[in-house]
Amino acid sequence: AAAACLSPIFRGRDWFEAAMPWLYEWPLLLHLKQGLSRYAGSLAEAVDMDRLLGSRSLRELEESLFCRTRSRPTSWEVYWERNEPLRDADEAAVPVLCLCSADDPVRGPPARSLPMELFRSSPYFFLLLTPRGGHCGFPRRAPGRCWGHEAVLEYFRAMAEFLRTEERRKGQPRPRRWGGPAAEPPVFTWQRSYTR
């Protein structure tokens, strides 16, 4: 009935092509290679493991893993036509909270990485943009404490309560008129967004 994203990457192709600072990219690249190397035997049937493990950027790794497959190779352009995260955003039919921070070093500056037009035009997408929080961190002042997951859980609680209330109202009979128009509070319902 609802969804949430913590520090999402909205424009995948742009993100891979822009590359993030090496201080963040190299550890992530090494972590991904280490994880993929565990499945080298199985993956070797589908991808060139030497090329994959020799990748020098996240883009090269992505391209080796998904574009240069042995059975169905595809171009970088075609891959993103099918896999761009915002490709079907106008098809969303549930409210989606996106929790982002302005200082996210992985996603990049909000001016170029956040699809503000989506948040302005879609009744389903909500943006909670904080000045600080890093990438998926959202720390409190006390060490070891983060508030991002608490905000998402509170959002889910509020959405569940909203939807329960809406269902109860739909099941109630219409108020009777006693000499004038009925004074019924408006019931908010989401309308499908057609932004294409």
pLDDT > 60? residue 191: no
Rounded mean pLDDT, 117-121: 94
Bridge partners (DSSP) of residue 6 are 99
What's at 107, amino acid-wise?
A: R
What is the predicted pLDDT for the residue at 145? Answer: 78
Among 14, 88, 104, 149, which one carries the catalytic annotation? 104
pLDDT > 70? residue 194: no
Query: Phi-psi region for residue 125, left (φ > 0), alpha (ψ -120 to 50) or beta?
Result: beta
Rounded mean pLDDT, 86-95: 91
Q: Quickly state the pLDDT bin for 139 (edges 50, 70, 90).
A: confident
Question: 3-class SS at 4?
Answer: strand
pLDDT > 60? residue 159: yes
- As a dihedral over the C-alpha atoms of residue 151, residue 145, residue 141, residue 111, rounded to 10 degrees, the angle is -50
Q: Considering Cα of 108, then 112, then 118, then 119, what sign does the dihedral take?
A: positive
pLDDT > 80? residue 103: yes
What is the predicted pLDDT for the residue at 28? Answer: 92
Q: Are 125 and 92 in contact (CB under 8 A)?
A: yes
Chain-centroid distance, C-alpha 117 = 15
Rounded mean pLDDT, 147-176: 85
Mean pLDDT is highest, among 67-71, 162-166, 171-175, 178-182, for 67-71
Rounded mean pLDDT, 163-191: 63
Residue whose structure tokens are 């956040």? 114
104 is catalytic: yes
Among 14, 48, 90, 135, which one carries the catalytic annotation? 135
Neighbours of 151 (CB within 10 A): 17
Q: Quickly state the pLDDT bin for 140 (edges 50, 70, 90).
A: confident
- As a dihedral over the C-alpha atoms of residue 100, residue 102, residue 104, residue 108, rounded to 10 degrees, the angle is 110
